[in-house]
């Protein structure tokens, strides 16, 4: 199979590389010349564990290449994946589909022979119809089918998510396209990852419904965490207690400062808009979005309570800025809202993140960045863990106590237990475990 991937961002690059690793010939196309130049030199423009090695071995094997020229790779492709960005449109929360439609128009005139055009980007229901219309309008003679094949890749675990998926969802209408997509995913299919064929619109909705459900699950356990604090229960035990019921499942029940990232905030909002436009509101998701927005800022109250009620003029050390560990992605990270809320209350913020500081410098004002936990903790009135990087799981509390103005730990990811922290003379605040003993 010859596969051309339009867009060498996170999804396009990971998918293209993994397809090449399956044995297909893959050409990744991107308009950004500097990005393609870097990729040609073996430099990976994103942080994703394992990706650099996988790109290198597939380039070496001659199965993976990069270019800014779209025409020839599209012409010879059996399958063209559209994997360009669909950011939130400014002002209304709808997904911005201009890159998807521009890609459709550009590939249309180069299509040659039967080609399956796959939307891999996260797109609202009905986008496939529009992509089909654009291609047909631009090139009425083209022999093609537009297929939906959403990605379910978690940043930091994208390669294993791609190679060992819970399922592969493919939305299409013809046997011809089905045969091609079965061939594309043959290695996974042979490994018994279920290949779910649906209509195109159904497949598009599955992606949004899946992400919205997970966002709702996190928000549910976050509210149960607040309730646990109010009634004297332990949210981690509640999560375990309900998660062992197979109908609920134990994953995505970690209470925290609210979800962030490039997908959940954007996709829940887009689903809400699509639902409203179709006069079929998804009220649970509307509520999920607003609870999560409030939650992120409200974490500043926890910090204030931990330092005696008032953060004004106090130095607060923030550990972890990315929306989750093992990524350099700061998009919609809870840290942005938490830090802003603390600054609004007059706190002096010092921060450190193992991979996210380059992006953080662009996004955060009036923050002093340090190069490790101990440096930012110096003279701080509280240390706040916002992202659960492994490196923060083994802090030297003796050293921290010597450095800090007051020994206060606010653990917004529940990575420590009360006793192990308090035995070092620290006060300890976490999420949903008021009297916990681990
Ligand atoms: C998500 C989906 O998991 C993936 O399938 C989809 O295709 C893209 O969006 P990602 O955004 O990379 O992936 O991260 P994920 O691991 O899902 O975490 C999202 C956010 O939820 C993070 O801010 C994380 O900290 C938070 N989260 C997750 C929790 O607060 N609690 C949990 O139990 C799980």
Q: Are residues 191 and 43 in the same domain?
A: yes
Q: Are residues 168 and 301 in the same domain?
A: no
- The helix (run of H) or strand (run of E) holding residue 348 is strand 348-352
Mean pLDDT of 223-227: 98
Cα-to-centroid distance, 423 and ligand 1 (Å)? 33
Mean pLDDT of 244-256: 98
Q: Are residues 194 and 319 in the same domain?
A: no
- Look at residue 98 and tell me if it is in a domain: yes
**What distance in Å separates the CA atoms of residue 416 and residue 379, rounded to the nearest whole number?**
22
CATH number for the domain that contains residue 194: 3.40.50.720
Please report the pLDDT score of residue 92 as a whole number.
80
Q: Is 208 in the pocket of ligand 1 (CB under 6 A)?
A: no
Residue 435 predicted with pLDDT over 80:
no
**pLDDT tens digit sequence for 269-292:** 999 999 999 999 999 999 999 999
- Look at residue 240 and tell me if it is in a domain: no
Cα-to-centroid distance, 169 and ligand 1 (Å)? 19
Q: What is the average pLDDT score of the chain?
A: 95
Burial of 313 (0-12, 13-18, 19+ CB in 10 A): exposed
**What distance in Å separates the CA atoms of residue 207 and residue 151, rounded to the nearest whole number?**
8
Residue 20 predicted with pLDDT over 50:
yes
Query: In angstroms, what CA-CA distances link 210 with 68, 154, 205?
Result: 33, 13, 8
Active-site annotation, residues: 263
Task: Output the six-digit token pair for 138.
Answer: 């631009």
Cα-to-centroid distance, 204 and ligand 1 (Å)? 19
Task: Supply the ipTM of this predicted assembly.
Answer: 0.97
Q: Are residues 159 and 303 in the same domain?
A: no
Q: For ligand 1, pick from 150, 151, 154, 386 the residue to mutate: most ligand atoms within 8 Å of CB.
A: 154
Checking phi first, is residue 23 left (phi over 0); if not, alpha (psi -120 to 50) or beta?
A: left
- Look at residue 264 and tell me if it is in a domain: no
- Look at residue 180 and tell me if it is in a domain: yes
Mean pLDDT of 348-362: 97
Contact 407, 426 (CB under 8 A): yes
Binding residue numbers: 30, 35, 86, 122, 152-155, 207, 252-256, 260, 266, 324, 331
Q: Is 162 in the pocket of ligand 1 (CB under 6 A)?
A: no
Mean pLDDT of 218-232: 97
**pLDDT tens digit sequence for 189-200:** 777 789 999 999
Residue 223 predicted with pLDDT over 50:
yes
Q: Is 218 in the pocket of ligand 1 (CB under 6 A)?
A: yes
* Domain termination site, one of 146, 164, 198: 198
Cα-to-centroid distance, 334 and ligand 1 (Å)? 12
3-state secondary structure of 418: helix
Binding residue numbers for substrate: 152-155, 207, 252-256, 260, 324
- Look at residue 369 and tell me if it is in a domain: yes
* Domain termination site, one of 181, 198, 215: 198
Q: Is 250 in the pocket of ligand 1 (CB under 6 A)?
A: no
Q: Are residues 26 and 165 in the same domain?
A: yes
Q: Are residues 62 and 190 in the same domain?
A: yes
- Look at residue 251 and tell me if it is in a domain: no
Q: Are residues 164 and 302 in the same domain?
A: no
Picking from 187-201, 370-384, 418-432, which range would have the lowest pLDDT averaged per residue? 187-201
| Residue 94: half-sphere exposure toward Cβ, Cα within 13 Å | 11
Q: Is 263 in the pocket of ligand 1 (CB under 6 A)?
A: yes
Domains contained in the chain, number: 2
Please report the pLDDT score of residue 438 as a whole number.
39
Residue nearest to atom 33 of ligand 1 (CA): 252
Q: Is 332 in the pocket of ligand 1 (CB under 6 A)?
A: no
Residue nearest to atom 28 of ligand 1 (CA): 252
**pLDDT tens digit sequence for 84-112:** 998 888 778 788 999 999 999 999 999 99
Please report the pLDDT score of residue 437 as a whole number.
42
Mean pLDDT of 330-359: 97
Cα-to-centroid distance, 394 and ligand 1 (Å)? 23
- Look at residue 61 and tell me if it is in a domain: yes
Name the residue among 301, 322, 311, 307 with its Cα closest to residue 226: 301
Residue appearing with tokens 């490196």: 391
* Domain termination site, one of 140, 163, 198: 198
- Look at residue 285 and tell me if it is in a domain: no
Residue nearest to atom 7 of ligand 1 (CA): 152
Q: Are residues 15 and 164 in the same domain?
A: yes
**What distance in Å separates the CA atoms of residue 210 and residue 39, rounded to the nearest whole number?**
32
Cα-to-centroid distance, 259 and ligand 1 (Å)? 7
Please report the pLDDT score of residue 122 as a whole number.
87
pLDDT band at 436 (very low <50, low <70, confident <90, very high): low
Residue 419 predicted with pLDDT over 80:
yes
Q: Are residues 65 and 193 in the same domain?
A: yes
Residue range of the domain that includes 173: 2-198
Q: Is 167 in the pocket of ligand 1 (CB under 6 A)?
A: no
**What distance in Å separates the CA atoms of residue 242 and residue 408, rounded to the nearest whole number?**
32
């Amino acid at each position: 199979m010859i596969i051309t991937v339009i867009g060498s961002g996170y999804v396009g690059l990971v998918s293209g590389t993994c397809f090449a690793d399956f044995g297909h010939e893959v050409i990744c196309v991107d308009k950004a010349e500097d990005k393609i130049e870097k990729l040609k030199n073996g430099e990976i423009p994103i942080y994703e564990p394992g990706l650099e090695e996988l790109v290198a071995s597939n380039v070496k094997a001659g199965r993976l290449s990069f270019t800014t020229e779209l025409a020839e790779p599209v012409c010879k492709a059996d399958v063209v994946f559209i994997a360009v960005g669909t950011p939130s449109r400014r002002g209304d929360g709808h997904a911005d589909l201009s890159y998807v439609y521009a890609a459709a128009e550009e590939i249309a005139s180069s299509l040659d022979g039967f080609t399956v055009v796959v939307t891999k980007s996260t797109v609202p229901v009905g986008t496939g119809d529009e992509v089909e219309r654009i291609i047909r309008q631009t090139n009425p003679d083209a022999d093609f089918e537009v297929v939906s094949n959403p990605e379910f890749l978690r940043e930091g675990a994208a390669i294993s998510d791609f190679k060992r998926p819970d399922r592969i969802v493919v939305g299409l209408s013809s046997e011809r396209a089905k045969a091609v997509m079965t061939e594309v995913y043959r290695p996974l299919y042979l490994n018994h990852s279920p290949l779910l064929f649906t209509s195109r619109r159904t497949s598009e909705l599955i992606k949004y419904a899946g992400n919205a459900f997970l966002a709702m699950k996190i928000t549910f356990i976050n509210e149960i965490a607040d309730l646990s604090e109010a009634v004297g229960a332990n949210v981690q035990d509640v999560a375990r207690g309900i998660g062992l019921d197979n109908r609920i499942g134990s994953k995505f029940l970690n209470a925290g400062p609210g979800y962030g990232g490039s997908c959940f905030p954007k996709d829940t909002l887009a689903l809400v808009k699509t639902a409203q436009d179709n006069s079929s509101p998804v009220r649970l998701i509307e509520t999920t979005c607003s609870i999560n927005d409030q939650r992120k800022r409200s974490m500043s109250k926890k910090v204030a309570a931990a330092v005696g009620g008032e953060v004004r003029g106090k130095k607060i050390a923030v550990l972890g800025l990315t929306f989750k560990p093992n990524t350099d992605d700061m998009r919609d990270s809870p840290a942005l809202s938490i830090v802003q809320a603390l600054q609004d209350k007059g706190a002096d913020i010092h921060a450190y993140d193992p991979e996210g500081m380059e992006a953080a410098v662009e996004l955060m004002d009036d923050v002093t960045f340090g190069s490790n936990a101990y440096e930012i903790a110096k003279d701080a009135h509280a240390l706040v863990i916002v992202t659960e990087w492994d490196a923060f799981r083994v802090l030297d509390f003796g050293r921290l106590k010597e450095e800090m103005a007051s020994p206060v730990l606010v653990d917004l990811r529940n990575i420590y237990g009360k006793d192990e922290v308090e035995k070092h003379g620290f006060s300890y605040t976490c999420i949903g475990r008021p009297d916990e003993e681990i």
